[in-house]
Amino acid sequence: MSLKVDHARCTECRMCYIVCRELDINAVYVALEPLHRIEIDLDACTYPGCTACLMYCPAEGSIVEAATGRSMVPPPPEAWQA
Amino acid sequence: MAELPGKALAEELIGRSEAESRSTPFEDVIAAARTGMLDGDALNRLIGRLWTLERMFYYIYGGWGQGLEINDFPPSIKYLFSKQIVDESTHEMLYLDLLLRRKLVPTQKEAFRHPYGQFSVDSALALYVFSLRNLATYPHPVRIAALNLGPKIVEFAWMAALADVVADPDLKAAFTSQQVENRSHINMGRRIVEEFVAKPVDAEMCRWACRVAAQDYNRFLHELADLVLQRQTPPPPVQRVRVTD
């Protein structure tokens, strides 16, 4: 299971990038295209083991479960227990 | 539309930098990439040093930001500067992502300690960084002229040339994806010089600052080319300036 960014809602504030780097998980990266949007590496992301990006994301619905499309922002109660 | 006071100066500075960009110490690196002579570690050295330079822009722009005051320029000028800071930060992230993806380092913290990512005070990179930071006390259009109409134009040219020939797809994409932002920095530099450099004394200061920044950037490029190609060549000559007060 992993997370992905909904670019229609993401404001590109990059808080997810910062916390992911600080935790040395390095799953969030800047895409190598001119818009330089934030993406999540499905192989590197350790969700649901780590939910740090969800805790800092300010834009409702901008991070979703890759498999189900379920919005994870604001984080549901179970995310706080991870 | 009224004629902009700094139009001729902007053209002059752009023209000079474009001429300089046709021959830089980076030609040999581009030639090596064209013939497939840049191995994985050479690319790591290149990316590591470019990342080191990019992250130093937090330090440079931190100083420049303190030189902006209330009501000294219209908000649009400050917006353009903030956009440039964000873009530079994006480029820093791109290079760090590459270092991690190429597994040169396992973590961001390790990247700071790795020889390719370390900041050394005794280097041409540091000289260039301190040279730019030194412009913190100069009027904003002067330092923007120095960087955006100087080294940024040289960088734009070598980066486009290297992106054309480098085989590594990630590095090619990292360079290519920066082009729009780098072009926008040059354009915003042109606009600021055109609009805000009106007096001859300011124009002369722009010429001086642009010349110094270009010279120091050239020395950085020389050091970087030597590091990437694992060679030692004599550095380019430095123009001596007599200081009087």
Residue type, B99: L
Complex ipTM value: 0.89
In a mutational test of the B interface, the residue from A28, A32, A40 whose CB has the highest number of chain B CBs within 10 Å is A32
User: pTM, whole model, 2 decimals?
Assistant: 0.93
Contact in structure between B99 and B200 (CB atoms under 8 Å): no
- Looking at CA atoms only, how far is residue B70 from chain A in angstroms? 26
Q: Which of B177, B178, B180 best probes binding to A when mutated, by most A CB atoms within 10 angstroms?
A: B177
Q: Are the beta carbons of B207 and B23 closer than 8 angstroms? A: no
Task: Report how far residue B113's alpha carbon sits from residue B118's, in angstroms, rounded to the nearest whole number.
Answer: 6
Q: What is the pLDDT of residue A82?
A: 65
Output the pLDDT for position B245. Answer: 65
Please check whether residue B93 touches A, CB under 8 A.
yes
Number of domains in chain A: 1
Listed residue (B18, B20, B23, B24) closest to B223, CA to CA: B24
Going along chain B from its start, the domains and CATH numbers come out as: 7-229 (1.20.910.10)
d(CA B123, CA A79): 47
**Which chain B residue's Cα is nearest to A19?**
B108
- Own/partner pairs, B227-235, CB within 8 angstroms, 24+ separation: B227/B45, B227/B49, B228/B29, B228/B32, B228/B38, B228/B42, B228/B45, B228/B46, B228/B49, B229/B28, B229/B29, B229/B32, B229/B42, B230/B42, B235/B124
Burial B44-59 (b: 16+ CB within 10 A, else e): bbbbbbbbbbbbbbee
**A21 shares contact with chain B (CB less than 8 Å):** yes
pLDDT in tens, chain B (245 residues): 678 999 999 999 999 999 999 999 999 999 999 999 999 999 999 999 999 999 999 999 999 999 898 999 999 999 999 999 999 999 999 999 999 999 999 999 999 999 999 999 999 999 999 999 999 999 999 999 999 999 999 999 999 999 999 999 999 999 999 999 999 999 999 999 999 999 999 999 999 999 999 999 999 999 999 999 999 999 888 777 676 76
Residue spans of alpha helices (H) in chain B:
7-21, 27-34, 40-66, 75-101, 108-113, 124-133, 140-148, 151-165, 169-196, 200-229
The range of the structural domain enclosing residue A21 comes to 3-80
- Contact residues on chain B for A33, CB-CB shorter than 8 A: 173, 177
List the structure tokens of B160.
């486009």
Tell me the chain A residues in contact with residue B106 when contact means C-beta distances shorter than 8 Å.
24
Is the Cβ pair A33, B177 closer than 8 Å?
A: yes
Q: What pLDDT shows up at residue A78?
A: 86
Choose among A22, A24, A30: nearest Cβ to B93.
A30
Q: Is the dihedral of CA B171, B106, A3, A29 positive or negative?
A: negative
| Under 8 Å between Cβ of B26 and B166 | no
Virtual torsion, Cα B23, B26, B31, B35, nearest 10 deg: -170
B173 and A32: CB-CB below 8 Å?
yes
* CB of B86 less than 8 A from some CB of A: no
